[in-house]
Amino acid sequence: AGAAYLRVTPSMLRRQTGRRGKDAWTALGGRVYNISPYLPFHPGGEPELLRAAGRDGTKLFGEIHPWVNYETMLSSCLIGLLVDEAEAQS
Ligand code: HEM
């Protein structure tokens, strides 16, 4: 039910590092976000934010600022849901 979210596998996520002309994506709490538009606004700076690019950034994010409400801040940057490789095929 609801919106049809893009299902993103870890291998798809790994290609989205922000290099080679592609946007930087990260996964937070099972959701995948395009963080490229947010890069210039991140109070911690672009290099810090890019440490989470192309991978699951949940742990890193939680270690630094668990109080930050990323769901609201990045709602317009939502790409889809992180799924495992097998789930994407079904
Ligand atoms: C600061 C947002 C990811 C490192 C902040 C602040 C916000 C924010 C709002 C200010 C917090 C405050 O002053 O209370 C976000 C969002 C992220 C993200 C929406 C979504 C991906 C990351 C990641 C890292 C990181 C992955 C590190 C690998 C930092 C650091 C600061 C900071 C070090 C502190 C900057 C300072 O006070 O000098 N971030 N962040 N952030 N962020 Fe992030």
Q: What are the tens digits of pLDDT across the range 71-90? A: 999 999 999 999 999 877 65
Q: What is the mean pLDDT of the chain?
A: 94
- Name which of 81, 80, 82, 79 is nearest 34 in CA terms: 79
Nearest C-alpha to atom 38 of ligand 1 is from which residue?
Answer: 44
Whether 55 lines ligand 1, by a CB cut-off of 6 Å, is: no
Rounded to an integer, what distance in angstroms lies between the CA atom of residue 87 and that of residue 90? 6
> What's the pLDDT at 5?
86
Per-residue confidence at 4, pLDDT binned at 50, 70, 90?
confident
Strand order in the sheet with 6-8: 6-8, 78-82, 31-34, 25-28, 55-56
What pLDDT shows up at residue 3? 66
Distance 44 CA to ligand 1 centre (A): 5
Cα dihedral 20/38/31/82 (nearest 10): 0
Over residues 11-36, mean pLDDT: 97
CATH topology for 6-85 is Flavocytochrome B2; Chain A, domain 1 (3.10.120)
Question: How far, in Å, from the CA of 72 to the mean position of ligand 1?
Answer: 14
Query: What's the CA-to-centroid distance between 17 and ligand 1, angstroms?
Result: 18
Two tokens, residue 63? 């270690």
* Tens-digit pLDDT profile for residues 49-61: 999 999 999 999 9
**According to the model, what pLDDT value does residue 28 have?**
98
How many other β-carbons are positioned within 10 Å of the β-carbon of residue 11? 9
Atom of ligand 1 lying closest to residue 35 CA: 21
